Amino acid sequence: MTDIQETKQVKDLVTLGEFVIQKQHEYPGATGDLTQIFGAIKLAAKLVHREINKAGIADITGYAGQENVQGEQQQKLDVYANEKFKAALAARGLVCGLASEEEESFVEFNQPQNVGSKYVVLIDPVDGSSNIDVNVAVGTIFSIYRRVSPEDGPVQLEDFLQKGTEQVAAGYVIFGSSTMLVYTTGNGVNGFTFDPSIGVYYLSHENMRIPERGQIYSVNEGNYVHFPMGVKQYIKYCQERDEASSRPYASRYIGSLVADFHRNLLKGGIFFYPSYAGHPKGKLRLLYECNPIAFIMEQAGGIASDGHRRVLELEPTELHQRTPLFVGSPNMVKKAEDFMRAFA
């Protein structure tokens, strides 16, 4: 039985490193900086991949016995992944600071190699971490900006509180049936599958585009009673019979944003995490979940809004602020926004 990878001639296989270098030659002004930052992300993701793949055996599942700034129980893997991404990015010397779901404030990188560096990284080290113990796909989400504060001074909060439109790169790693890294630098979206036998990420999904029309809706319907009327009406719309628009749609919800997003990116669909009773801004965090996801989705031909406004235009005011999120195939997100407007 030929391994799927080997159906391509080795000469056809492009590694992530080769691809980033190829692409940077295509864009004037591109420097090797992103190549090095991606190198750090690739390395940390390999370490997380290794821990996840022995989760059942090693002492990496379960709670770390402490809470993060969100008041959420940290999983051991949340802490492990956060430390590995922080260390790998600091070592590369191009990043002057990091903000993370697992850190209350931003972390300044002030080792000698970081002085004068011009990028900041925001990260959700493990997304969907409640799924680790039940062997369901989880992910890492990252977002990269150029700093806006003076390069000869310490990194500032303003470097992290930038609109999503200012991102220079964004991506995610999905640790599923295979481990994949998907990213954009604003020139399309490309996906790389990790081959653990030789520790290399190969280009497997070039120029990813979400299908214009989707037939999958992803939402935690357990919150239905708490949703705004527009969301309730849209969910009912998804469930009505109408052959012309291929309804009722299929309902799929994994509970890991990265996994639900990745499936919809490949197959078409909408993922939405609306506001709900007691949570006017929903659950997902703007800076290290919604902005990178929105950048990728727009680059793949989809839409990302908070139900009314483009996510990438939202003005950040604090590191861990939340926003409702509606993201996916244009026809589906626009229809959801119509219902939100009609019942506002």
Report the interface residues with Mn ion, using CB under 5 A.
Answer: 101, 124, 126-127, 289
- Among positions 33, 101, 102, 159, the unique one binding ligand AHG when judged by CB under 6 A: 101
The dihedral formed by the CA atoms of 14, 17, 23 and 27, expressed in degrees to the nearest 10: -170
> In this chain, which stretch among 111-119, 232-240, 250-258, 274-282 interacts with ligand AHG, using CB under 6 A?
250-258
Q: Judged by CB, which is closer to ligand AHG: 160, or 202?
A: 160
For residue 328, the partner it binds in Mn ion, ligand AHG, none, with Cβ less than 5 to 8 A by kind, is none
Instruction: Please answer whether residues 65 and 80 qualify as being in contact, where contact means their C-beta atoms are separated by less than 8 angstroms.
Output: no
Within 113-142, the residues that bind ligand AHG by CB under 6 A are 124, 127-129
For residue 255, the partner it binds in Mn ion, ligand AHG, none, with Cβ less than 5 to 8 A by kind, is ligand AHG
Report CA-CA distances (Å) from 163 to 69, 78, 105, 269, 315.
Answer: 22, 26, 18, 25, 6
> In this chain, which stretch among 14-22, 82-90, 255-263, 303-311 interacts with ligand AHG, using CB under 6 A?
255-263
Measured CA angle at 300 (ends 40, 279), to 5 deg: 80
- Residue 301 engages ligand AHG in binding (rule: CB under 6 A): no
The dihedral formed by the CA atoms of 223, 67, 259 and 226, expressed in degrees to the nearest 10: 10
Instruction: Please answer whether residues 65 and 78 qualify as being in contact, where contact means their C-beta atoms are separated by less than 8 angstroms.
Output: no
- Among positions 220, 233, 321, 331, the unique one binding ligand AHG when judged by CB under 6 A: 220
On the question of a cis peptide bond just before residue 248, with omega within 30 degrees of 0, the verdict is: yes
For residue 159, the partner it binds in ligand AHG, Mn ion, none, with Cβ less than 5 to 8 A by kind, is none
Question: Binding pattern to ligand AHG, positions 303-342, x when CB under 6 A?
Answer: ----------------------------------------
For residue 256, the partner it binds in ligand AHG, Mn ion, none, with Cβ less than 5 to 8 A by kind, is ligand AHG
What are the residue ranges of helices labelled H in the chain?
Answer: 16-26, 33-52, 76-92, 229-239, 257-267, 291-299, 330-342
Q: How far is the CB of 42 from ligand AHG (least distance, A)?
A: 20
Q: How far is the CB of 22 from ligand AHG (least distance, A)?
A: 32
Q: Is 319 left (phi over 0), alpha (psi -120 to 50) or beta?
A: alpha
Footprint of ligand AHG on this chain (CB under 6 A)?
101, 124, 127-129, 220, 255-257, 283
